[in-house]
Amino acid sequence: MASDKPFKNAPPDEFFGQAPEHYALPVHFGIYIIWDRRRGHVLSLKDGELRFTPWHQPSKHRAHWYWTCVEEGGWLSLKSPVSGQFITAEDDVLGVELLRSSMPGSNQRFFFREATGGGYRVFFQQDESLVVVQSVDEHPGQPRSPPVALEVAKQGCSDEDTGEMIWVFVRFYG
């Protein structure tokens, strides 16, 4: 595997099956596996739920781990080539959750900014502003029904200090 940067928690070369081209910022029609740099888990859409799965968890088929990048008007959206579902960010009283949606819209528009140490900070469009999202391991006193739960992080904080979600994109070619 030809990687641009070494990452802690990175899956071994054998994990990917076919060789990825490199770690990269997503581009239109690129196909990627996305993993969270902090936890080392892969973003997947399985049985209708968006979740982070440990990369070492056995799985016969890994098609639900691939994402196609779609660019529209300068914004990036991520679509499952298996289900046709888009990743969407929804804001509610508990924070921001990553969900799935069959229709692209403003909440499917993402922006990625390079993070210290590699990978990309994740932002999404909410009305006329960008919201940066942060990983949440638990909501004390709240049931954790969504498999992926996020919180809005304070603008201007260092990604190393706040626990913001840092995604690494591993690009595959056809």
* pLDDT value at residue 166: 77
* pLDDT value at residue 3: 44
Residue 84, C-beta contacts closer than 8 angstroms, at least 6 positions apart: 102
CATH code of the domain occupying 23-172: 2.80.10.50
| Under 8 Å between Cβ of 138 and 152 | no
Identify the DSSP state of 63.
Answer: G
Q: Which residues is 22 bridged to in the sheet?
A: 171
pTM, rounded to two decimals: 0.67
* Sequential pLDDT tens for the chain (174 residues): 344 444 555 665 555 555 455 667 788 888 888 877 777 778 887 777 777 777 666 565 666 788 888 888 888 888 888 888 888 776 554 444 566 666 666 666 777 888 887 788 877 776 677 777 655 443 344 433 333 333 333 333 344 445 567 778 888 754
| Under 8 Å between Cβ of 84 and 63 | no
